[in-house]
Amino acid sequence: MIAKIGRGTNIIGALSYNQLKVDQENGAILATHRIRETIDGKHTVPQLHQSFEPYLIANKRTEKPVLHISINPDPRDNVSDEDFKQIAKDYMERMGYGDQPYVVFKHTDIERAHIHIVSTCVDRNGKKLADNFEKMRSMDACRALEQEYKLIPATEKSRNPKEELFRPIDYRAANVKSQIASVVRHLPKYYHYQNLGAYNALLSLFNITTEEVKGELHGQPKQGLVYFALNEQGEKASNPFKASLFGKQTGLDSLQKHFEQSKDRMKTEPAKEILKKTIEVAIHTTSNEPEFKKQLLEQGINTVVRRNHEGRIYGITFIDHESRSVWNGSQLGKNLSANIFNDCWNEKTTQKRQDGIHDNIKITFPESTNNTKPETEKPHALFDFLDKNQSTQTNLGLDFIESFSGLLPEAQAEDYEEQLFANKMKKKKKSRRPGNKK
């Protein structure tokens, strides 16, 4: 079992993300703690928010008071709802959050059932609860709960020693070819995408791009793919590598088959509607592009924006890491096409859109009094294979996105990710400028 702890500023976004799955019958609320009860036993985002509001109003200093925790047993574990409830309760108590308000959501939209816990890390007096060595304590809690509930220990996961680690490539290293191979050979096993543009959007998270090439050989037309490494500015920073160097599965023919298979699968993908509604909520609860991206990123969704030389948006792609699918905005709905976002983020229309927000969204939220300073985009720790320190921008105008670090979630890769947590805890904290608050 592995637990991921994420922190954010938007309690509405965290509750909405999970409640949408419940509304779409892809999830359920298993338990609540210190949450106001309802007459009919049903819950809504505004009603849930009311129980957190006093804590958030009292908060004066903590910039990220919202907790969004994911607890993921091994896919082979058959955990009952009652055990999930008790595991969540025991985990929160072991982590020092047992007296906090929280909601336990179960997600069933993918084969691996798991739970999300939404809570806050500030107490009723607005004081931040201690989180020293939180990742290490979380690992200890997971090991103890595995024994108590007879779950498969994450540390027993077998790993092929020859297996390459998936991480953003470094174009300055001598083994660029090997780095690219470790990514492109395996992406089709985990993610679904319907065209080359969507594939490139996903590759960009790893500082890689690919291009189609055409020519003739002995009078016969030929076509194929070449791959490049990208630098920090998203510019090509390596010689081209033919797809054939990485195996048949990375070539154009295999990718086209994957596109068709993905197209068939994504037609009936239940996560599509959830993703669509999550994005719609983000549109109506944010006022600009950075806020929009940040809110989605906290839900494990990368946004890749393509602009022309004049700065106009001509394409937008969403990478949903929970369903492991890549969608162009227009595939999700006309109201999520590039032109819509171009208008939404136009300074002249932003205020008008905000003024009419409550007329365009079915969910109405209580006014928040928790004012925080803008922050750099960071991914939700639920997707901790995202590298929080790297970004890339391709020469096609891909805007700011977060890039991957660590393993793609092969059989959850709990062992490696938890070791990554431990390694991070050993690193010295970077010095912060005076006045920065944590």
Domain boundaries, the chain: 2-157+414-426, 176-267, 271-375+389-403
Architecture of domain 2-157+414-426: 2-Layer Sandwich (3.30)
Residues 6+ positions from 65 with CB-CB distance below 8 Å: 7, 9, 11, 55, 56, 59, 120, 121, 122, 128, 370
Q: Which of 63, 68, 47 is nearest to 298 (CA)?
A: 68
Q: What pLDDT is stored for residue 408 in this prediction? A: 36
Comparing C-alpha atoms, which of 142, 4, 151, 137 is closest to residue 68? 4
pLDDT score, position 108:
84
- Residues with Cβ within 8 Å of 295's Cβ and at least 6 positions away in sequence, in order, are 10, 13, 282, 285, 286
- The reported pLDDT for the residue numbered 344 is 85
pTM above 0.75, yes or no: no
CA dihedral 420, 85, 69, 369 (to 10 degrees): -160
Write phi, then psi, for 200 (nearest 5 degrees).
-65, -35
Q: Which residues pair with 404 in a beta bridge?
A: 386
Mean pLDDT, contiguous 10-residue spans, the chain (438 residues): 91 92 90 93 93 94 93 90 96 96 90 89 94 91 94 64 60 87 88 93 92 77 88 90 88 93 91 91 89 89 89 92 91 91 72 46 40 38 38 32 32 36 42 48
Beta carbons of 206 and 181 less than 8 angstroms apart: no
User: What distances in angstroms separate CA 323 from CA 192, 260, 274, one per listed residue?
Assistant: 9, 18, 10
SS3 238: coil
Q: What is the pLDDT of residue 84?
A: 96
Give the span between the Cα atoms of 414 and 419, in whole angstroms: 8
Q: Tell whether the torsion through CA atoms of 20, 22, 25 and 26 is positive or negative.
A: positive
Question: What pLDDT was estimated at residue 28?
Answer: 94
In eight-state DSSP terms, residue 412 is G
Output the pLDDT for position 190: 87
Q: Which tokens hold the place of 253? A: 């023919």
Nearest CA-CA partner of 91 in 47, 140, 40: 140
CA-closest candidate to residue 2, choices 424, 417, 428, 425: 417
